Structure 1
Amino acid sequence: VNPQQIEAQVEGSFVYGLSAMLLGECTVENGRVVQTNFDTYPVLRMADMPEVETIVMPSGGFWGGVGEPTIAVAAPAVLNALFAATGKRIRTFPLKHHDLTAA
C-alpha cells in the first residue's frame, strides 16, 4: 500500500467532509433540486482549507478503505471546537447559516 496514496485519500475526504458541513445544502426550487452537479455544489478550495496532517499508522490488520471514514470525523471535530470557543451547540448544517460569534 502506497502511504502517499493513503494521505491523498484521507485529505481529500476531509475536504469533502468540511465542505459538506460548512457549505453543503440541497435547495429545491419549483420541485427540483438546484444543485444538479458538482459545478453548482460548493466545495472548499485549496486557499480555504486548513493545514491537514495525515499520520499513517500500520495496524497489521486487514486492509480496507481509508478515505471514507475521514468524512465523518470533520464535523464533530469542528463542532466541538466551535462549542469550546463560542459556548454554542450547533446541530444543523450548513454552518454558513449560523452566527458563530461568541455567546
Structure 2
Amino acid sequence: MQVWPDEDEVRVIVCVGDFDAETLGGLKAASAAAIDDSGVRRIVLDIGGVTFADSSMLNVMILLLNSGRLVLAGIMPPQLGRLLEVTQAGQLFTIADTVEAARGL
C-alpha cells in the first residue's frame, strides 16, 4: 500500500495485494490519518491493484465512506466487485475509472 502526498487537498491511498483482517494494518492507519486530517477534502482509494478483499476491507471502506469524502478509483477488481455485489454495498460508493478522474469529483 502507498499513500500519495496531498495535492489539492486530495489524499490518495493506493491498495495493492490482499486485504483481510491480518493484512489491513497499513490501510487502517492511512485511512484514520486521512479521516483525522481536516485539510483533506477528498479521500481517493485506488482499488485497481486489489487481488483479494474480505469483509474486513469492506468495513474500512465503509468507515472512509462515512467521512463523506471517499471516492474509489480504478478498474474494479473481480473479487472486490463480487464482494460489493454480494453485500449489496456497491451502490453506496462513488467510483471513478482513474485517480485523476476521482480527484475532480
Q: Same fold (TM over 0.5)?
A: no
Q: Which has the larger radius of gyration?
A: 1
TM-score (norm 2): 0.23
Structure having the larger proportion of residues in helix: 1
With a CA cutoff of 8 Å and minimum separation of 6, indicate the structure with the bigger relative contact order.
1
Structure having the larger proportion of residues in strand: 2
